[in-house]
Homo-oligomer: A and B are copies of this chain.
Amino acid sequence: MERLQTADLPHVVVLGGGFAGLAATRALAKSRVRITLIDRRNHHLFQPLLYQVATAALNPSDIAAPIRRILSSQKNVSVILGKAVAIDIAKKIVQLADGEVKYDFLIIAAGATHSYFGHDEWMNAAPGLKTLEDAVEIRRRVLVAYEAAERETDQRKITQWMTFVIIGAGPTGVEMAGALAEISRRVLERDFRRIEPGRARIVLIEAGPRVLPAMSLDSSASAMRQLERIGVEVITGSAVTDVDGNGVTLAGGRIDARTIIWAAGVAASPLGKALGAPLDRAGRVLVNQDLSVPGADSVFVIGDLAAIKSDGKPVPGTSPAAIQEGRHVAANIAGLIRGEPLTAFRYRDKGTLATIGRAAAVADFGRLHLSGFIAWITWLLVHIFYLIGFRNRFLVISEWAWVYLWNDRGARLITGDVEPLLERGKSGEDRNRILSS
């Protein structure tokens, strides 16, 4: 057995344990490097299924796996729980909130968060969906809305509680709207006595001319039809001008709603800015064609934080793109160590998928556009296949089978204090009404 003199090996530091960072780390498993992966969280998150946690189909732990466990058999990696706050390019040091790490090669895969397009005051009324905490918070709000409607006697307020607005009709918005319609129509319907959750109004708002703008016209039109079939009201070509705890304002009018979900904008991690490199409007780093950072020696940016074109088109902020970039940078670093030059990244589009509901989905594979049941089965297989960690795959299949067969979602838990939610926007006068008369 060869014993590595680990301290002599080049030190690769990876910031972020998402799809990009994890792919890069895994692709360096056989290289003579030592790797330190740093993440603020101890888990890798399967973000494409986050909306299923938000709509109580899956448990948080079904779509997340401890980064340590994923990498436990890869001996050249140390995993550190920590938050990178700055990067000293000259000294090759990553500054953490409570310490620092020296690197020979740095891979930044810090991802993105929501952007409210300069309206951060909307954040509280309309949370986004990027982390497990976001998903649990949205689940809480949705379930509390039905509870509040059941208790309410004023018809206008019942309608407000039973109106759900999703802003942004990209994949997250479409999947969220579809799943909300499903849980309302199929699952919650039998649990309540006074209200009929099946009559909830679910509104999906898109500023652009069509839903799923990154997909083909065919698939976009099909998604629209499938959404309307399950009772989602779709408003396109209409930008939101204001959001508060009681509804949203559009150019064309106002929608009263107590539950609003933000699925519109994406802002890159502030680490991009900390690099001092050129950024695009969303704060993403304008990397070189080999994913290296202009003016920063041995630093690479991958995943949602990188802005790069391939074949003249921007590479999308999806997990397949992130994984491809991670593997490419790993290969480039291994090459650099062997004295080879950097090679340019080229994105291979393997297709795009979005689910709308039970047996409803759309898929684009180049010129092949699928919809309905076939697209949904494809979506199912792809997601089960890519779910990281066999245990999660096994449990997610059990959960999905259960939901599909019984229309029952077990993860319908409201945790935390519900009073602040129930009280949101409530006026004093109706505090003392008799609930049960």
Q: Residues of A at under 8 Å CB distance from B?
A: 11, 13, 36, 40-43, 59-62, 64-66, 68-69, 72, 78-83, 96-102, 132-133, 136, 143-144, 147-148, 150-151, 190-194, 389, 391-392, 394-395, 398-399, 402, 406, 408, 410-416, 418-419, 422-423, 426, 431-437
Tell me which of B68, B413, B435 contacts A42 (CB under 8 A): B413
Instruction: Please judge, given known A-B contacts A399-B395, A413-B132, whether A69 and B151 are in contact too, CB under 8 Å.
Output: no
Instruction: Give the number of copies in the complex.
Output: 2
In contact, A81 and B147 (Cβ under 8 angstroms): yes
CB neighbours (8 Å) of A133 from chain B are 415-416
Tell me which of B101, B395, B410, B432 contacts A436 (CB under 8 A): B101
In contact, B418 and A81 (Cβ under 8 angstroms): yes
Instruction: Please judge, given known A-B contacts A80-B151, A418-B81, whether A411 and B101 are in contact too, CB under 8 Å.
Output: no
In the bound complex, CA of A395 to CA of B64 (Å): 17
In the bound complex, CA of A148 to CA of B82 (Å): 9
**Nearest Cβ in chain B — how far from A4, in angstroms?**
13
Tell me which of B43, B150, B408 contacts A413 (CB under 8 A): B43
In the bound complex, CA of A410 to CA of B69 (Å): 9
Query: Which of A62, A136, A151, A437: most chain B CB closer than 10 A?
Result: A151
In contact, A98 and B426 (Cβ under 8 angstroms): yes
In contact, A436 and B78 (Cβ under 8 angstroms): yes
**Nearest Cβ in chain B — how far from A249, in angstroms?**
28
Query: Which of A40, A147, A410, A418: most chain B CB closer than 10 A?
Result: A410
**Nearest Cβ in chain B — how far from A62, in angstroms?**
8
In contact, A435 and B80 (Cβ under 8 angstroms): yes
CB neighbours (8 Å) of A435 from chain B are 80, 82, 96, 99-101
Instruction: Please judge, given known A-B contacts A150-B80, A395-B399, whether A191 and B434 are in contact too, CB under 8 Å.
Output: no
In the bound complex, CA of A190 to CA of B414 (Å): 34
In contact, B36 and A423 (Cβ under 8 angstroms): no
Tell me which of B61, B98, B143 contacts A59 (CB under 8 A): B61
CB neighbours (8 Å) of A144 from chain B are 81
In the bound complex, CA of A30 to CA of B399 (Å): 33
Tell me which of B41, B136, B389 contacts A410 (CB under 8 A): B389
Tell me which of B72, B132, B191, B411 contacts A190 (CB under 8 A): B72
**Nearest Cβ in chain B — how far from A113, in angstroms?**
14
Tell me which of B65, B66, B398, B431 contacts A395 (CB under 8 A): B398
In the bound complex, CA of A191 to CA of B73 (Å): 8
In contact, B99 and A434 (Cβ under 8 angstroms): yes
User: In the complex, which residue of chain B has the Cβ closest to the Cβ of A56?
Assistant: B61
CB neighbours (8 Å) of A79 from chain B are 150, 193
Interface pairs (11), CB distance under 8 Å: A43-B413, A61-B411, A69-B408, A78-B436, A81-B151, A82-B151, A98-B422, A99-B431, A132-B413, A132-B415, A392-B410
In the bound complex, CA of A168 to CA of B65 (Å): 32
In contact, B68 and A422 (Cβ under 8 angstroms): no
**Nearest Cβ in chain B — how far from A10, in angstroms?**
13
In the bound complex, CA of A143 to CA of B68 (Å): 11
**Nearest Cβ in chain B — how far from A216, in angstroms?**
37
In contact, A102 and B437 (Cβ under 8 angstroms): yes
CB neighbours (8 Å) of A102 from chain B are 434, 436-437
**Nearest Cβ in chain B — how far from A264, in angstroms?**
25
